[in-house]
């Protein structure tokens, strides 16, 4: 394997009984510095993909890596710790270090604003505090590859937003490689530079976020909240696949974009313009069936 490739997956098939849970027909290469967002609906194969990398399920095909399992840190959806002692002592026991003697651990505790939680028992932590605790534990491994599986699952919007902003800032200037499973597109907008799109156990596409946007959405997209008035106004315009509450209008050229914006301004309509919208990428890649 080339030095900058951490993980190579080819011709992978995972079956649960007679059912094919995951099939990877073309090579998936994860390189140093890649931040891979893994997206798909329930049952798409996201968890099976992660379990395959970790060797937790039987598979046919090839998964090659120069990393040992100890060099892959994993944040799973469910993590439970003993309730009989304060989180400070759980942290020190698992990490085999004293907080007072470990500068990196002190930095992470301070960065994630966890100081006031150290004396609490794990069972007394809120959902967001439990996630911060586990993230600190994962980040302390300083692994070449870290997997986050639904890291903000079950948290309210404000807590999710603050946590993801913290994570994005922490990794911004680091060379760490990440695999991030999430059904929140706005999280992956901040954390991912590549996307692995799965549907019904099949890989729809894989690549850089910007390249996939151009492939499935074009140069730019104007996005509007759906209404009958807007539907009638843009009846003759080409539309992209989008959730029912939105209208997505592709802008293949600057001229087309100017035409659309002039029409919107003339009718005093609000809109957003995007060149990276992951929900648009997913909707249109899924509609097209994906092609490599």
Q: Please check whether the domain covering 5-67+144-212 is classified as CATH 3.40.50.970.
A: no
Predicted TM-score (pTM) of this structure: 0.89
Residues in the chain: 292
Q: Which residues pair with 13 in a beta bridge?
A: 23, 60
Cα separation, 80 vs 91, in Å, equals 13
Give every residue of the chain whose pLDDT is below 50, as ranges: 292
In the chain, domain spans: 5-67+144-212, 80-139, 220-274
Euclidean distance between CA atoms 5 and 151, whole angstroms: 25
pLDDT at residue number 291:
52
The pLDDT value recorded for residue 156 is: 86
What angle do the packed helices 209-216 and 278-288 form, to 10 degrees? 50
In this structure, are residues 177 and 6 in contact, taking their beta carbons and an 8 Å threshold?
Answer: yes
> Among all chains, which residue has been given the structure tokens 């996307």?
195
Distance in angstroms (rounded) separating the CA atoms of residues 96 and 116: 21
Report the percent of the chain where pLDDT is more than 90. 78
Question: pLDDT tens digit string along 139-151?
Answer: 998 899 999 998 8
Residue 15 has a pLDDT of 95
pLDDT in the model for residue 292: 47
Q: What is the pLDDT of residues 12-64, one digit of tens each?
A: 999 999 999 999 998 999 999 999 999 999 889 999 999 999 999 999 999 99
* DSSP SS3 for 65: strand
pLDDT (tens digit, 9 = 90+) per residue, 196-211?
A: 999 999 999 999 999 9
Q: How does the average pLDDT of the chain come out, rounded?
A: 91
């Amino acid at each position: 394997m080339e030095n900058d490739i951490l993980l190579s997956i080819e011709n992978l098939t995972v079956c649960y009984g007679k059912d094919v849970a995951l099939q990877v027909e073309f090579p998936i290469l994860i390189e140093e510095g890649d931040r891979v967002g893994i997206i798909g609906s329930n049952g798409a194969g996201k968890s099976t993909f992660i379990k395959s990398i970790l060797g937790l399920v039987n598979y046919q095909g090839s998964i090659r890596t120069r990393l040992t399992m100890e060099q892959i840190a994993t944040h799973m959806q469910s993590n439970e710790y003993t309730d009989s002692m304060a989180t400070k002592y759980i942290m020190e026991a698992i990490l085999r270090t004293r907080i007072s003697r470990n500068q990196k651990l002190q930095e992470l505790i301070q960065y994630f604003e966890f100081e006031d939680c150290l004396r609490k028992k794990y069972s007394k932590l809120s959902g967001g505090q439990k996630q911060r605790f586990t993230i600190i534990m994962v980040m302390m491994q300083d692994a070449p590859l870290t997997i986050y599986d639904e890291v903000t699952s079950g948290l309210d919007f404000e807590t999710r937003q603050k946590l993801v902003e913290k994570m994005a800032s922490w990794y911004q200037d680091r060379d760490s490689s990440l695999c991030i499973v999430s059904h929140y597109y706005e999280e992956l907008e901040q954390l991912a530079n590549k996307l692995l799109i799965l549907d019904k156990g099949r890989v729809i596409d894989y690549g850089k976020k910007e390249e996939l946007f151009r492939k499935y959405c074009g140069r730019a997209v104007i996005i509007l909240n759906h209404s009958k008035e807007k539907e009638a106004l843009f009846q003759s315009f080409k539309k992209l696949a989008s959730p029912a509450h939105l209208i997505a209008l592709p802008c293949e050229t600057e001229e087309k974009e100017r035409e659309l914006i002039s029409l919107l301004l003339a009718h005093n309509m609000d809109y957003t313009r995007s060149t990276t919208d992951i929900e648009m990428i997913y909707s249109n890649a899924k509609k097209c069936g994906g092609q490599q």
